Amino acid sequence: MNMSTKYGLIVLICMIALCDVGVVTRVLIDLPNVRNERQLLQHGMHVTGRVRSRNASRAKQQTQYYVEFEYTVAGRLYAHRSRTGEVDYDHLPQGHDIEVIYLAQDPGVCTIPVATDAGSSLQMDVWLVTLMLVGTATVAIVVHYTVKAASHVNKTTTE
């Protein structure tokens, strides 16, 4: 195996590793949201809020749906934006009442039960991290044994 091929394989491994780091970082950034969701489901208080607005944005050939809503706790108005699925989005017009679950100790932390797609992106990221790590390890092993076999062939042909 010549030197340029070795460098090419090393660059390939580095590029895959950088992608792994990006996905792992995204999952780690989302972990506080997962903790909040768990606390909200176990200890959350329910209140009726109102849909302020909603919007859809298209990125990377996928449409993401968002609902902006407000709710009042102890006389204070809170506003929040939450990602939701297309079906729920279609059933939540502006001005519509919406159930909101918030943390009593921090009413600014909330969720809406209709946000069905919000957790699925994190689950997808976890699977993506797993697949990328396995893929990187597989590529590294293949490269290692290819380089080893090529150097063995080079030694036997020079002798």
Q: What is the number of structural domains in the chain?
A: 1
Per-residue pLDDT at 45 = 92
- How many other C-beta atoms lie within 10 A of the C-beta of residue 97? 11
102 is in which domain, residue-wise? 3-158
> Percentage of the chain with pLDDT > 70?
58
CA distances from 99 to 15, 70, 73, 115 (A): 44, 10, 13, 11
> What confidence tens digit (pLDDT) does each residue in 33-52 have?
656 777 887 888 999 999 99
Residue closest to 128 by CA, chosen among 140, 139, 120, 117:
120
Give the pLDDT band of residue 100 (cuts 50, 70, 90).
very high
Q: Give tens-digit pLDDT for 58-92.
A: 888 888 889 999 999 999 999 999 888 888 888 88
Give the confidence band of 128 by pLDDT, cuts at 50, 70, 90.
Answer: low
Q: How far apart, in whole angstroms, are the C-alpha atoms of residue 49 and residue 12?
A: 50
